Amino acid sequence: MSTLEALLEDDEDESQRENGQGGQGLQGGRKVEGAAALAQVLQQISDDSNGEESQLGTRLETMMLKFVQFLELNNAIIGRTGPPPEHVKETAEYGIRDLITACTDMSAEHVRIGAQHSMENRNETFNERVKELDASIAMQDDKMKQLGAAMGDVAFKM
């Protein structure tokens, strides 16, 4: 079964959802629920990649893995006992901390790629920045004119 087929929902899935059996995927003919189905799809996507590893791809994969782990740790799953009540808060804090770290790493990689692109394409970056500044100046001029007109109306009424 391809990743696309796993993501698409057919009539059978809709009837299962109506019967209260939603959130399930297929794995080797057996049903997989919730976060496990998401983890399976993510694994298939990473397996289907062309083998070229990038830092952004690695960080994205780590973030998705931490997200799935967080969901698995903190959701009630039939047949699996969760953490004892005295450890629920601690488990959630560790899961969130790991997820935040992964998201921050991915964000930092986006910033690094953006900075690298800016350095490699200086003229294009400069032209874009000039256009942004011109638009900002025009917007400020319009607001100043509106404010001047409003203040003139107020001064005239006094």
The tally of domains found in the chain comes to 1
d(CA 75, CA 63): 18
Q: Would you state the structure tokens that stand for residue 9, as one six-digit string?
A: 């929902």
Model confidence band, residue 8 (pLDDT cutoffs 50, 70, 90): very low
Number of H helices and E strands in the chain, helices first, is: 6, 2
Averaged pLDDT, 104-128: 92
d(CA 26, CA 21): 13
Question: Is the predicted pLDDT of residue 86 greater than 70, yes or no?
Answer: yes
Query: Could you read off the pLDDT of 39-60 as tens digits, one per residue?
Result: 777 677 666 666 567 888 888 8
**Residue 104, domain extent:** 54-157
Residue 36 CB contacts under 8 Å (≥ 6 apart), including other chains: 25, 72
Which pLDDT belongs to residue 7? Answer: 47
Which pLDDT belongs to residue 48? Answer: 64
In a domain, 95, yes or no: yes
In a domain, 16, yes or no: no
Between the alpha carbon of residue 12 and those of residues 6, 23, 24, 36, 130, the distances in Å are: 13, 13, 11, 20, 55
Query: Could you read off the pLDDT of 19-28 as tens digits, one per residue?
Result: 444 444 444 4
In a domain, 129, yes or no: yes
Query: Could you read off the pLDDT of 62-76 as tens digits, one per residue?
Result: 888 888 888 777 776
In a domain, 40, yes or no: no
**Dihedral, 3, 6, 8, 9 alpha carbons, nearest 10:** 180
Which pLDDT belongs to residue 84? Answer: 76
In a domain, 140, yes or no: yes
In a domain, 23, yes or no: no
pLDDT above 70 as % of the chain: 66
- Tell me the whole-structure pTM to 2 decimals: 0.49
In a domain, 14, yes or no: no
